[in-house]
Amino acid sequence: MNANAPKPPSNAELLRRRSAALPRGYGQAHPVFASRADNAEIVDVEGRRWIDFCAGIAVLNTGHRHSRVVAAVREQLEHFTHTCFQVVAYESYVALCERLIALAPGKSPKKACLFTTGAEAVENAVKIARAATNRSGVIAFGGAFHGRTLLTMALTGKVEPYKGAFGAMPGEIFHVPYPHALRGVRTEDSLHAIETLFKTTIPAHRIAAIIVEPVQGEGGYIPAPADLLPRLRALCDQHGIVLIVDEVQTGIARCGALFATERYGIEPDLVTLAKGLGGGTTLSAVVGKAELMDAPPPGGLGSTYAGNPLAVAAAHAVLDVIAEEDLCTRAETLGVRMRARFETMRNRFPFIAEVRGLGAMTAVEFCHEGDPGRPAPEIANALKEEAARRGLLLLTCGSYANVLRVMIPLTIPEAVLDEGLDIIEASLQAIAERKN
């Protein structure tokens, strides 16, 4: 090592620079700056190792820097990095759409197109639905998260911090309760709320789409009951409404199937994808029934960076890795293992109200004395901070910010998974002792 080389900046120094350069609205969950990363571990600029149970907010299903993804991006770099697909096209984009069409649930003829972010995919799915139906209304669910752009912010079912400071939302977007047995909301209640909307606020013939997450992400990692998606499918068929399933977070093997929708036995009209699809690069997609996808006119869909060649190459590698390493099965196995461990913790700590999940999407909800009417965000936050002191990165979520969401890479070594779970249990023990 060169003794005269400048010393790398510390996390604290970089935080000071960040505070001076970035607006305060751009949050940061941990005061850590990455230097390098591999699979389920990050090393920061000070050389400290961190176990990563965040995976870039459920993006890195194939882990940090999977060798197949790195090789695919490197190979594409030798050819070209950007042409704008709408100007000069490339075969890999078409091939990726073909793969997604072949893998998507249901037997209807389908088409697909690529975008850049999850919010962009959701916006375009709504555009497609409105063009196909010549209607404007959209129904979403309370607690949902669909993005931070103006339209997707309106679809999102949580005020703070996503909506409160930003004025009027776009019109003809309506929210109904999402089922959650812990809080006494059933599928029947959600369907009744939709029927009430039709009678009191907007008729069914003016609704273009219903959009739903198979597992609510930001809302608290709440899996849909087994009957919710089938009953929404029947309702949409009855009224000519487009069913959009937002799989930005649930898709690409995270829920034990390539599409979480597969676990509910229905065929959506449109599906949005992002996060895990790009393997750490920026890519999203809309996959849907061909007659709907063809509704917008030429030029009505597109984006300058959509389907970037480097991200497309990464996505092909991601799909290869999922198939070759059987990550759908591994997601299910890991989820069962994690939830069993958390259930043992629930028996020890009365402030754990519920353990839930689908595939590897796993959540632990904290409430005082386990009472759903007394959410405990301070316990969730204390866990995040205590675990970080011990070298584990966690994130919280939920309408009351009282839920731990575990977003491990599906490629995580079992020893590292167990190490992280041990840190969570030790952290909860420390919190329980402080409470007493």
Q: Could you tell me the residue ranges of all domains in the chain?
A: 11-61+326-435, 70-324
The dihedral of CA 44, 50, 55, 61: what is its sign?
A: positive
Read off the pLDDT of each residue in 381-404 and give the average, rounded to a whole number.
Answer: 97
d(CA 135, CA 219): 28
Answer whether residue 143 shows pLDDT above 80.
Answer: yes
Q: What is the pLDDT of residues 311-328, one digit of tens each?
A: 999 999 999 999 999 999
Counting DSSP H helices and E strands in the chain, the numbers are 13, 17
Residue 8: its pLDDT value, please?
84
Predicted local distance difference test score (pLDDT) of residue 194: 98
**What is the per-residue pLDDT for 293?**
98
| Average pLDDT estimate for 138-150 | 97
Give all strands (DSSP E) within 1-102, no chain letters: 34-38, 41-44, 49-52
pLDDT average, residue stretch 140-167: 94
Give the model's confidence band at 2: pLDDT under 50 very low, under 70 low, under 90 confident, else very high.
low
Query: What is the per-residue pLDDT for 3?
Result: 61
- Tell me, what's the pLDDT at 168? 87
Confidence of residue 436 (pLDDT cuts 50, 70, 90): confident
What is the distance in angstroms between the CA of the first residue and the CA of the last residue of the chain?
50
* Overall average pLDDT of the 49-72 stretch: 98
Nearest alpha-carbon partner for 47 in 387, 386, 391, 280: 391
Beta-ladder partners of 243: 210
Q: Give the C-alpha distances (Å, rounded to integers) separating 96 from 72, 112, 224, 301, 317.
A: 14, 9, 29, 17, 10
Q: What's this model's pTM, rounded to 2 decimal places?
A: 0.96
Q: Which two tokens stand for residue 413?
A: 């070594």
Over residues 177-189, mean pLDDT: 97
Q: What is the mean pLDDT of residues 377-391?
A: 98
Beta bridge partners of 37: 42
Distance CA(155)–CA(119), nearest Å, equals 10
Q: What is the mean pLDDT of residues 115-127?
A: 98
CATH no. of 70-324: 3.40.640.10
Identify residue 383 by its one-letter amino acid code: L
Strand order in the sheet with 242-246: 110-115, 284-289, 270-273, 242-246, 207-212, 137-141, 173-176
Q: Are 122 and 247 in contact (CB under 8 A)?
A: no
Work out the mean pLDDT of the chain and round it to a whole number. Answer: 96
Top-tier CATH class for 11-61+326-435: alpha beta
Mind listing the pLDDT tens digit for each residue in 321-353?
Answer: 999 999 999 999 999 999 999 999 999 999 999
Whether pLDDT at 5 is above 80: no
pLDDT band at 258, cuts 50/70/90?
very high
Which of helix, strand or coil describes residue 208? strand
Percent with pLDDT over 90 in the chain: 95
In order of 42, 221, 231, 350, the CA distances from 355 in angstroms are 27, 10, 25, 12
pLDDT greater than 60 at residue 201: yes
The pLDDT of 267-276, averaged and rounded, is 98
Distance, in Å, from the CA atom of 194 to the CA atom of 331, rounded to the nearest integer, reads 33
